[in-house]
Structure 1
Amino acid sequence: MTRRFPLVTAHAGSMNILAHTLRSVQIGLELGADVVEEDIRVTRDGVPVLAHDDEWSTADRSTVHIAEMTYAELSGLQLEAEQGELRETFRLLRLEDILPLMQASGKIINLDLKVDEAIEPTAALVKRYGLSERAFFSGCQRDRALLAERLQPEMRKMLNTDVELFKTMSYRDAMVRTCEDARAAACRGINIYHGILRKEFVDYAAEQGLPVYAWTVEDAALMRQYADWGVRSITTRGVATLLQVKRDWLEQEQ
C-alpha cells in the first residue's frame, strides 16, 4: 500500500515573506501547501489578530502591547518587524481578514493560540465562515487544551508538547504523559517541536490514535526522515523545499 506524505504546513512568514501579512498567507497557498499556520492573539476589545508577540515597536519607535489596546487603536499604527537583516513595517491584520481567502482556497488553517482569551472569539469566527471542518487550534499545552475543550468542545485541537517534560522526565515517561494529556483534553493529535521528536514518539502516539504534527522543520533531510517515520504534518517556512522533498518521496514510493 502506498504511504501518505505528511501534510505540508506553511508556517507564518514562509519563504522569507514578512509574517502575519496577507502575502505571507497567500504565498503558502500559491505554492501548494495543505495547511497555513497563523499565530493568534486578541486585542483589549477581544478582536482576534495575527501576531506571535504581544509587544511591538511602531515606526516612530514607540512600544505597544496588543492586549492593552483596542483594534481600532492598533489598526492605525505602522508596526515594525525584523525580516532577515531588514526592518519592515506592516499593519496589524485581523483573523477575519484572512478567513475569506482560506474559505475560498479549500485548505486547512492551523490557529496557533498565544493566549487563552483567543479561544472563544477565534472559534466564533471559524464557525461564522463555515470552517469548522478545516480549522484546528494549536498552541495548546495541557491547561489551555483542557480550557478549550470546556469552552469550545466542538473545535478541533492539537496538544502542544511541553518541552520541559522532556528535560525533567525520562523520554518514555514524558512521551506517555504527553499522550495522556492529549487524550484527557480530547485532542486530535500532538504538535511537537521537532528537536525532541523521535521515531518511538511517532510510533507510540500512533498506537494511541494520535497523529504527530512536527514543527518547525527547515532541513530537507529531516523532512524526508519525518515523512519516513509517518508524521501527519510537517510545518516549515521553507515550503518550496518541503514540496520538492514530497515530489522526490512520492516518486520513490511508486
Structure 2
Amino acid sequence: MTVSAAQRKSFPLVTAHTGCMETLDNTLESVRRGIELGADVIEEDVRVTRDGVAVLAHDDLWPAVGGEQIRISQMDFAELRKLEVEVDHAGKKGIISFRTLEEMLEIIKPSGKIANLDLKTDEAINAAAAVVDKLGMLEQVFLSGCEVDRAREAEQRQPKLRKLLNADVKLFTSIPYEQAVSQTCQDALETSCFGINIYHEFITPALLERAQALELPVYAWTVNDTKLMELYADMGVASITARNVEALVGLRMKRRQT
C-alpha cells in the first residue's frame, strides 16, 4: 500500500488502554499515566454496584484480600470501598481498591482529554450517564463495550451519550468477511453509533473503505506492537488503543517531524 506524505503526517487518536504501561487496570494511576504520556483518549471499564454506583472494574467477581470472593453487583459501594482485592491480569499482579467513575472523570475533565467508558453491563448505561450529567462532561465522554443489543439499549435510555459499536468477533468468524462488514456498518447506523470499535486483526482496507464511505470512523483495539501501530496508522484508522502508550505517542511525534 502506498502512503502519501499527508497520510504520514496525520495520525490516529491515541487511546490509552486501562492499565497502560506498567500500571494496574482500572486504577486512577492508569488514568493519570495516560494523560501524562499525551494520550488523546483514556479508556476504563465500568461496572455498577448494587446501589447504582458506577465503579472502574472489568469483572464482577473478585478475590478479596483474605480469601473471600466478592461480586460488585451484589454489594453496596459503602461496603465495596472498604475492601482491597487481588489483581493478576495482563502479566501484572497487585492489590487495588475500587475507584468510582466520578473520581476518574474528575481527573479527566480539567485535562481536556476524552474518556472512553467501556461498559461491562447494561446497568452501567444509566449509572454512567448520571455521572457524566452531574459533571457536565457530555462532550468529553463516549461509550464503548456496546455490541448491537447494548447499543440499542444505550440509544433508548441515553440518546445524548455518544457511543461506538463494538464489532462482534463471532460475526467475523462465522460468516463471510464482506457480510460481516456490511452487517456491522448497518448495525452502527441503525443504533446511531458514531463509529466502530473493532479488534485490530479484523481490520482490512475493505472495512475501512466501507466504513469511511458511511462516515463511520474505525477505532482499533488493542495494538501494542510498534510495527502494527504503523500499519494501522497508514491504513487510516481513526484511533489506536494501546497499553504501550509511550511507543504510540513516540510514533506520532516521529511522524509529525518527518
State the TM-score bracket (shorter-chain normalisation).
over 0.9
Q: CA deviation at 1:69?
A: 0.8
Counterpart Cα distance in 1 of 2:91 and 2:121? 29
195, 200, 203: which one aligns with 1:189: 195
The one-letter amino acid paired with 1:113 is L
Residues 88-147 of structure 1 show CA distances to partners (whole Å, capped at 9, x for unaligned) of 111100101111111110000000000000001101111211111110000000000011
Residues 16 and 83, structure 1, Cα contact 8 Å, conserved in 2: no
TM value normalised by structure 1: 0.96
Query: Which residue pairs with 2:178 in the alignment?
Result: 172
Segment drifting more, 242-251 vs 131-140:
242-251
Aligned counterpart in structure 2 of residue 111 of structure 1, from 113, 117, 122: 117
Structure 2 Cα separation of the partners of residues 25 and 69 of structure 1: 25
2:27 maps to 1:21: yes
1:219 corresponding residue in structure 2: 225
Q: Distance in 2 between matches of 1:84 and 1:129?
A: 32
Secondary structure of 2:216's aligned partner: coil
1:2 corresponds, among 2, 6, 21, to 6
Q: In structure 2, do the counterparts of structure 1 residues 221 and 86 end up closer, same or farther at CA, with 3 Å as the change threshold?
A: closer
Whole-angstrom CA distance in 1 between matches of 2:229 and 2:256: 13
- Find 1:61's aligned residue among 67, 78, 82: 67
User: What amino acid sits opposite 1:104 in the alignment?
Assistant: P
1:74 aligns with 2:74: no
Kindly provide the amino acid, as one letter, of the partner of residue 203 in structure 1.
E
* 8 Å Cα contact 1:224/1:249 also seen in 2: no
1:159 is aligned to 2:159 = no
State the alpha-carbon separation in 2 of the partners of residues 182 and 51 from structure 1.
26
Q: Which letter does structure 2 place at the counterpart of 1:180? A: Q
Q: Which amino acid in 2 is paired with 1:237?
A: R
Contact conserved, 2:87 with 2:93, CA < 8 A, in 1?
yes
Q: Give how far 1:2 is off.
A: 3.3
User: Are positions 1:210 and 2:211 aligned together?
Assistant: no
Q: Does 1:122 align with 2:128?
A: yes
RMSD: 1.2
* Residue pair 2:167, 2:197 contacting (<8 A) in 1 also: yes
Pairs aligned (count): 252
Q: Is residue 2:47 matched to residue 1:41?
A: yes
Give yes or no for the alignment of 1:201 onto 2:207.
Answer: yes
**One-letter amino acid of the structure 2 residue matched with residue 227 of structure 1:** A
Identity %: 48
For structure 2, list consecutive stretches of 5 or more residues without a partner in the other structure. Answer: none
Cα deviation 1:16-69 (Å, max 9, x = unaligned):
101111111000000100000000000011100000011101110111011111
Q: Displacement of 1:85 after TM fit?
A: 5.6
Structure 1 Cα separation of the partners of residues 101 and 56 of structure 2: 6
Gaps of 5+ in 1: none
Q: 2-side partners of 1:228 and 1:153: how far apart?
A: 33
Contact 1:137/1:156, CA 8 A, preserved across alignment: yes
Q: 1:147 aligns with which of 153, 161, 165?
A: 153
1:181 is matched by which residue type in structure 2?
A: D
Deviation at 1:84, TM superposition (A): 6.1
